[in-house]
Amino acid sequence: MQLFSSTTWKRALAVGLVTAFVVCAELPTNALAANLDKSKNLKRAEKALREGDFEQAEALLRELLSKDTQDEQARLSLSFALLKQRRLQEAYDHAARVLLSNPTSAKAHALLGQAILGSGDFRESVEEFRTALAIKEDEALAVAGLAMVDFYENRLADCVHGLRRAVDQFCGGNSGSRCGVRLHASARRHQCAVSSSARLPMRICSCWRR
């Protein structure tokens, strides 16, 4: 006995093919939506970093990492946000975690150096800054870090030169921008006011870039 007519069989096959197509089509659409959402949240976090809202940036970045623990960019940005809040051990730990999977991350080495410098270990911080610059010669966080070591060791001319170089790299070489003017002014003020030295390492990092 014939269970299905030719027309019924063809209709069932057509329905099956359409269903399979719809399911497959939804997969890249959903992935695209997730990527767009991730990109949007990362931009919000980076905007918060630039505006000095480090707690908000931290919250956004932790949310991103809760969804993807392998997001290197989010983890480096979180390390920076923690660094700006003087939570040096946490900043160090996140940068070190990136280095476990990517030992050639110049940004991670620079962040390690900044955390170590904040703890007062100049020698170890210099090693991390130099490692970062060996990987990427224009890594601005590392340039700024070495400049700060010069500042703390009273090599003021070298410090100002290094800070100006870091400013150019942070701000894309636009020394006429508001960012450049602010950081140049900061360098000049701190050249004349050694007593304010504790504030400079964090102030020079006000233009976070990936």
pLDDT value of residue 18: 47
Query: Angle, to 10 degrees, between the axis of helix 106-119 and the axis of helix 122-135?
Result: 170
Q: What value does the mean pLDDT take over residues 111-117?
A: 95
Contacts of residue 180, Cβ cutoff 8 Å, sequence gap at least 6: 167, 168, 171, 174
Residue 135 structural domain? 52-203
Q: Considering the domain boundaries, does residue 2 fall inside one?
A: no
Higher-pLDDT residue of 2 and 63 is: 63
pLDDT tens, 188-205?
Answer: 454 444 434 434 444 444
The SS3 of residue 173 is: coil
Q: Looking at 8-12, 22-26, 51-55, which range is the least confident one?
A: 22-26
pLDDT tens, 125-162?
Answer: 999 999 999 999 989 899 999 998 888 888 888 778 77
Q: Using CA atoms, how far apart are residues 203 and 176, in angstroms rounded to an integer?
A: 18
Query: What count of other Cβ atoms lies within 10 Å of the Cβ of residue 205?
Result: 23
Number of domains in the chain: 1
Distances from the Cα of 143 to the Cα of 55, 133, 134, 155, 200, angstroms: 26, 8, 11, 15, 14
Higher-pLDDT residue of 112 and 169 is: 112
Q: Considering the domain boundaries, does residue 41 fall inside one?
A: no
Q: Considering the domain boundaries, does residue 40 fall inside one?
A: no
Q: Considering the domain boundaries, does residue 13 fall inside one?
A: no
| Nearest Cα to Cα of residue 42 among 71, 19, 16 | 71
Q: Considering the domain boundaries, does residue 120 fall inside one?
A: yes
List the CATH number of the domain containing 99.
1.25.40.10
Q: Considering the domain boundaries, does residue 35 fall inside one?
A: no
Q: Considering the domain boundaries, does residue 23 fall inside one?
A: no
Residue that the structure tokens 């700024």 belong to: 144
Q: What value, to the nearest 5°, has the Cα angle with vertex 182 and ends 166 and 49?
A: 75
Distance of alpha carbon 162 from its chain centroid, rounded? 21
Q: What value does the mean pLDDT take over residues 81-103?
A: 96
Q: Considering the domain boundaries, does residue 135 fall inside one?
A: yes
